[in-house]
Amino acid sequence: MRLTHRTLLSLMKRIGGKVDDYAQYRPSALSMQNLIDFGRKAEEKASFNFLRKELLVRLANVMKEVALLPESLLGTPSAMLVYQWYQESFQDLLQFENVEYSPNISNDFTTQLTQIVNRHNTVVETMAEGLMEMKASHGIDPVTQKNIQFFLNRFYLSRISIRMLINQHLILFGQATHPFYQSSQHIGCIDPNCDVIGIIEDAYENARFLCDRYYLRSPGMKLECKNDLQPSQPITIVYVPSHLYHIMHELLKNALRAVTEYQQDKDALPDVHVQVVKGKEDLSIRISDNGGGVPCRLVGNLFNYLYTTASLPSPEIHEPSAPMAGLGYGLPVSRLYARYFHGDLFLVSMEGYGSDAYVYLKALAVEASEVIPAYTAMSKKMFNNVEKSSQWSRAVPTGIYAHVFHLFACASDLR
């Protein structure tokens, strides 16, 4: 059911005090090592006690920022529906705020978390519909576009963090299943020995399938690997396989499409080159294509929501036969997945030749910490001015490199 703005405000009044209370707290940023250590102990009571508070904090922080959106967007049916989902989820979790742990309570909590995950499954698509509704009815000027870009980066990153915590709990203590997490070595949704090369190969095969289906041919892939510290060992890291797959599939899909379209008059398509290097601090991946590239002035636009170099898809965007590209969310969301655990993703393009996509992930689990937006009293001013400030909750790694990385991230985030 889609709500009117007045009904939405009425619902907000019921829980507004609690939202204000929990929004005063900053989300507790966890490292991959924290999640691994806790998952190995698998203490359901401890997980319950942590999540029933932490999820309320993270949801409240999101809801306070959603309320800062311009009326032209927040008033759209789709954006109001998304806001309603967050309100309902917050209300659902409030019932566990002060209850004592018991097996029955734990079962109810797990059931509630499953319902919340299902409720929020289409948040990205629904918010995208809200943007299109806003654009159709009010248009989007450059200042508004910049504000919304800033908000969406924070909004979707918060969503990733919330789903990470919920999925970790459901896989450890519930009945959740996922093809990525069926191996006995997984700790929740984390693989302590994530096979980087295997995931890249899977992502390529699926991207190639789409390319073959849409263009009737596809480029090959040449893969080079180097494990600098352990040359004889396969390249593995502690990571969330589904996150890495999402990033790799998006980048390879873009590379295959660019090469196929740019080289359409050639009898043979040049290969896409992928280089993977694991060093002491970083796992670095470079994907290079001969897809013609884009002008330097447009590279930044590639990370803007609803900007795309492909033709717009048909309305049946969720059908298996949908085009390879056209929604404009792939790159910005993939970059958020990379940044979520203190990594990064950026592009370098040579117009007339091709593009290189670089992905950097933390090689050490202790340094792969969550980067989570946090609502503060300065958030409203920041939304209006789109200025970078300390509105992030993150556990910063130690060392000179970490300091430089932190400064770089502060300068480049949401640019």
Residues 97/52, Cβ–Cβ less than 8 Å:
yes
> Catalytic: 246?
yes
Angle ∠(141,143,149) on CA atoms, nearest 5: 100
R_g (Cα) of the chain, nearest Å: 22
- Catalytic: which of 147, 153, 254, 290? 254
- Catalytic: which of 54, 250, 367, 370? 250
How many residues can be counted in the chain? 415
> Catalytic: 193?
no
Mapped onto helix, strand or coil, the DSSP state of residue 241 is: helix
- Catalytic: which of 120, 249, 253, 362? 253
Residues 166/116, Cβ–Cβ less than 8 Å:
yes
Q: Which two tokens stand for residue 362?
A: 């933390």
> Catalytic: 41?
no
Helix (H) or strand (E) holding 256: helix 241-262
* Bridging pattern class, strands 272-278 and 221-227: parallel
Which bin fits 398, alpha (ψ -120 to 50), beta or left (φ > 0)? beta
Mapped onto helix, strand or coil, the DSSP state of residue 386 is: coil
Euclidean distance between CA atoms 31 and 366, whole angstroms: 6
Distance between terminal CA atoms of the chain?
36
Crossing angle of helices 123-137 and 142-173, in 10° steps, is 160
Residues 304/144, Cβ–Cβ less than 8 Å:
no
Euclidean distance between CA atoms 213 and 210, whole angstroms: 5
Partners of 135 in beta bridges: none
Euclidean distance between CA atoms 71 and 90, whole angstroms: 22
Give catalytic residue positions.
246, 250, 253-254
